[in-house]
Amino acid sequence: MLALSVFIGLVSLVLLAVRPTLGIPAVFIARPFVDTTWPDMIGSIRPTEVYSVAVPTLILLHLVFASGSATFRRMPLRWLWVLWLVDVAFFSGLILYDNDVADGFNIFFRHLNGFVGFFMLQAWFADERYTKRVLLAMAIAGLFPMATGVYEALTGDHWKITVGEGGLIRNIGMYHDGITIRYLALQTILAVTLLTTLYLKRRWLASLLSTAYGGVCAFVMYGAYSKAGILTLGSWLLLWPTLLRKVRTLIVFGLAGLILAGAYSEKLVDTVSVVFNKEIGVAQGDLGVDRSFNGRWYTWKAMLAERESFTSTQRIFGSGQIALGAHNDYLQILFHGGVIGLILYLSMLLVIFGRIVRDLIARIDPWSVAALLAFIMWIVDTIGLVPSAYSGYQWFVWGIVGLAFRKRDDARRAVPAPAPATPRDEINASFDPATAHAAGSGG
């Protein structure tokens, strides 16, 4: 598997170096294979780490020489991202200084992939000729990980034993943990949904197959027994048809829910009860709040206690320590970038959310709703995970958001502005034929 994954990864990098419109879809397809190499070492390096550095490096090289619609000046919210990257470079330098060069570059490239994700889809795939290509690539990318998830669910044979709440064994395929197969499932679901809505409206067979594929992804994600995954997918199933006023979709979801409830109600209730057993206990008053979130409160309290020993400079600008195990994105940024880094990160999220809301108020369409769904996915995961540390995850979430913003910006530019009025136009506008006729008759 290592040799196959490395080969697929190298092919995608070659394509990316030659042409982004071919290479970026190839990168999305290759990522699920590359991520299976997480326990492997080639010499002293991991293929996953090399890939997460090579992709943004090639994208930045293309950015330097980009022209036309792919130029940096066409990127939405570009200066906000630049400000964030300046701080990322600063606190990564602190980590480099206090630890070693590898650690500093590790943190820098992890956060850089957020900017790269936001830039690359809007730069080369805003044109409808290429939008379908990258969405199709995301859908194809789900085939391999979803197949491994189905295999585990049907056979009970696991590549790795990962135990969740209540002793449930998670179906995570060949990946390090549940977040990888979960984000790949959600990536596939959103890509398939956009493809079906935008391009397969009149093709009932293709729409049916796409719906079935989405159902398989939901089944695989359910087997990962993830609280965040259940909450995210539940919000998606409610918001997509509601905001877009898809009554038939709501009816289909409702009927599917009734069928599942009738056939598997006891098993579904038991599983959800086990996954959320601590949260249910907290709500009922049987457990303390610190038992929720799978006990992550203890990690958070320990990190905050450690922060008390930092100097004022470390608290403000960054500790110089790696905090990838924080299990909370805001706490991770607080350690990495200090109060300034956290303020910049929160400001960026607020501005992006404000832009999403503004676009929805102006006009609700599939892309504005897709941006909202991707953003919800990010926010849910920031509470108990560190999504800004996962490159592929960021390419997907920020790629969808950036592409949605760019499409709206391009639509505004496409509307021709009214021509400035001339003196003759003003005379004609004030001319009233009836009044003029009456005046002429009276003379």
163 phi, psi to nearest 5 deg: -100, 130
Matching residue, tokens 């404000």: 354
Count, in order, helices (H) and strands (E) of the chain: 19, 0
- The pLDDT of residue 26 is 97
Of 139, 279, 273, 269, the closest CA to residue 199 belongs to 139
Cα separations (Å) of 6 from 47, 265, 267, 349?
7, 43, 40, 35
- The pLDDT of residue 262 is 58
Q: Evaluate the CA torsion angle 275, 281, 287, 292 in order and state its sign.
A: positive
Token couple for 341:
């880094």
Q: Is pLDDT at 117 greater than 60 in this prediction?
A: yes
CA distance linking residue 107 with residue 341, whole number of Å: 13
What's the DSSP call for residue 168?
A: P
- The pLDDT of residue 204 is 72
Token couple for 208:
């049916």
390 phi, psi to nearest 5 deg: -110, 115
Using a pLDDT cut of 70, give the percent of the chain over it.
81
- What's the CA dihedral at 177, 178, 184, 187 to 10 degrees? -140
Of 325, 226, 321, the closest CA to residue 274 belongs to 226
pLDDT level of residue 441 (50, 70, 90 thresholds):
very low
Q: Is pLDDT at 430 greater than 60 in this prediction?
A: no
CA distance linking residue 54 with residue 13, whole number of Å: 8
Q: Is pLDDT at 253 greater than 70 in this prediction?
A: no
Q: Which amino acid is at 367?
A: W
Token couple for 198:
């935008």
Of 234, 256, 251, 153, the closest CA to residue 189 belongs to 234
What is the overall mean pLDDT for the chain? Answer: 85
CA distance linking residue 29 with residue 136, whole number of Å: 10
With a CB cutoff of 8 Å and minimum separation 6, the contacts of 329 are 345, 381, 382, 383, 385, 386, 387, 388
- The pLDDT of residue 153 is 85
Q: Is pLDDT at 438 greater than 50 in this prediction?
A: no
Q: Is pLDDT at 273 greater than 70 in this prediction?
A: no
pLDDT in tens, 204-250: 777 778 888 888 898 888 888 888 888 999 899 889 989 988 776 66
pLDDT level of residue 442 (50, 70, 90 thresholds):
very low
